[in-house]
Amino acid sequence: MQNMNQVMGARLWFLIVILSIIWGASFFFVEIAVERMTPLTIVLCRVGFAAFLLLGFVRLTGREMPKNLGIWGAFLAIGMLNNVIPFSLITWGQKYIDSSLAAILNATTPVFSVILAHFLTKDEPLTTNRLAGVLFGWMGVAVLIGIEALSGVGMKIAGQAAVLGAALLYAIAAIFGRRFKEFDPVVVSAGMLTGSTIMMIPLAFIIERPFTLDPALVTWAALFGLSAVSTALAYIIYFHVLSKAGATNILLVTFLIPVSAIFLGMMVLGETPGWNVFAGMALIFMGLIFIDGRLLKRFKK
């Protein structure tokens, strides 16, 4: 049986860092795209082009997509939970909050995962360390949202709530996705994104009428980066690291994504995160350290 806590070599660590950068960049690409395009259309472009690329990758590598309708029904379900709704929530939320803040709020996914896994699975109980991690995580969220939340619900608060909702759905999708453990992960990814595209086409065309939009060249460049790099390429790297290092080690990406998102937001978009952003990020990171547990074990030795 594969050791899920195995020590990673330099190559896997390099891929973990690359993955965190390109996933962190997704918030940067969305921030650019929402200036000239509507949220559902952005999501359609993201999943549609990524599905096209991954289906091509499946064909080039000799893989085959399943023909069973039940499996495709599951692909549609995981696409709804992992792409359609959370991508739409994050994209809409970034109309009102900075990309760096969205990335940090998105890092609460493992906090939700720990709580849900305790109630929905038999092999991941809520231990003392994990409970401490949950508490630190929610303290971080409280600091990020800030005292302004007490003065009324504005669009900034709504944007933050949307990203937190996406993090919750990612956690649910991770538990639902266990049913695909016997399948080729690249095929699952291609099927999920294809299902997501099928669902997004009517939503985007009926609600937003994308043909009426006037995107600039930089908007198309951001959409290409979002779909080809931060979605299609990211999934290939993710599933490679997952197969080599296990599910526990892939959690390390969560620590690094906000760092790259904050850097890009400050250097390119001119965002100026306040003290509460860094304080909230520190608390969430502390929560992830408790949830992961390995760093704590090193200090105990």
- What's the pLDDT tens digit per position in 4-45? 445 567 788 888 889 989 998 999 999 999 999 999 999 999
Q: Is the pLDDT of residue 56 over 70?
A: yes
Residues 95, 105, 297, CA angle at the centre, nearest 5°? 160
pTM metric for this prediction: 0.84
Band of pLDDT at residue 301, cut at 50, 70 and 90: low
Tokens of 156: 């900034």
113-162 pLDDT, tens digit each: 888 877 877 767 778 887 888 888 888 888 877 655 545 557 888 999 99
Q: Name residues whose C-beta falls within 8 Å of residue 221's C-beta, 6 or more positions apart in sequence.
A: none
Using 50, 70 and 90 to split pLDDT, how confident is the model at 250?
A: low
Q: How far apart are the first and last CA of the chain?
A: 26
Exposure string of 254-263, with b = 16+ CB inside 10 Å and e = fewer, is bbbbbbbbbe
Give the per-residue pLDDT at 217. 94
Q: In the chain, what percentage of residues exceed pLDDT 70?
A: 88
Encode pLDDT of 81-104 as tens digits: 999 999 999 999 999 988 888 888
Higher pLDDT, 199 or 99: 199
Kindly give, in sequence order, each residue whose CB lies less than 8 Å from that of residue 236, ignoring residues fewer than 6 positions away.
54, 57, 186, 189
- Span of 43-52, 252-261, 270-279, 283-292 with lowest mean pLDDT: 252-261
